[in-house]
A and B are shown apart, each in its own frame.
Chain A
Amino acid sequence: GQQVMQIPQYQHVQEGEDFTTYCNSSTTLSNIQWYKQRPGGHPVFLIQLVKSGEVKKQKRLTFQFGEAKKNSSLHITATQTTDVGTYFCAGPTAGNKLTFGGGTRVLVKP
């Protein structure tokens, strides 16, 4: 079936460093959404990308949607301890249900 995959599964980052997490779909997506879940919390919607090649920024976070609309990335610059959590990408798959990737769990070393 249609799948949404994320790499890496875990990301250990030194505070102040940059990192990127990647999301790949087995099929073309009409849009890609990103969510953040803090430890012990629930997923919180961050952003949606719709257009091929679209790039959006939220402060230190940069989101990109691939040209083929099958992949996306989230780049965080100057990582802070507040960035700790799991980042999920999600896209509408068969039947327009929102399918989530496995998530990238971010751990920050102070």
Chain B
Amino acid sequence: KAGVTQTPRYLIKTRGQQVTLSCSPISGHRSVSWYQQTPGQGLQFLFEYFSETQRNKGNFPGRFSGRQFSNSRSEMNVSTLELGDSALYLCASSPGQGSPGYTFGSGTRLTVV
């Protein structure tokens, strides 16, 4: 059974640009969550999608957005990049509510210069 796949693994962007990150969950998993991980702030929740609907949203500015497609694949977009957006972006999938544990992808390391 394939794991959670995130692409790309590494990305370098300049301030002001926008970026799109992709996540393919485990087959059959309908819930996808996104987290930002930085050394100073730990794992910060961005949003969760379930069956193409955003079910939860964290405390991030509107520059951070996401979506989920009918095949459960998800994308997150960050517009007008700032230096502080440099982080490891992790995607996690789960079958849905009531199922214990998230399976994380390897993440996308975003560096904003």
Mark A residues whose CB is within 8 Å of B.
31, 33, 35, 41-45, 48, 88, 90, 95-103
Assess whether B58 is interfacial by the CB under 8 Å rule: yes
Query: Known contacts A100-B43, A102-B42; is A95 also within 8 Å of B56 by CB?
Result: yes
Q: How many A-B residue pairs have CB under 8 A?
A: 48
Residues of B close to A101: CB separation below 8 A = 42
Of the residues B48, B101, B106, B107, contact of A33 by C-beta under 8 Å: B101
Q: Are A97 and B56 in contact (CB under 8 A)?
A: yes
Q: Which residue of B has the minimal Cβ distance to A31?
A: B100
Of the residues B43, B90, B97, B100, contact of A96 by C-beta under 8 Å: B97
Query: Known contacts A33-B100, A48-B100; is A99 also within 8 Å of B105 by CB?
Result: no
Residues of A close to B101: CB separation below 8 A = 33, 45, 48
Nearest Cβ distance between residue A95 and chain B, in whole angstroms?
5
Task: Classify chain B: how many residues form its interface, as a range.
Answer: 20 to 34
Binary interface encoding of chain B residues 97-113 relative to chain A, with 1 for a CB under 8 A from any of its CBs, else 0 = 10011111111000000
Q: Are A97 and B48 in contact (CB under 8 A)?
A: yes
A102 to B104, CA, bound (A): 17
Assess whether B33 is interfacial by the CB under 8 Å rule: yes
Q: Are A43 and B56 in contact (CB under 8 A)?
A: no
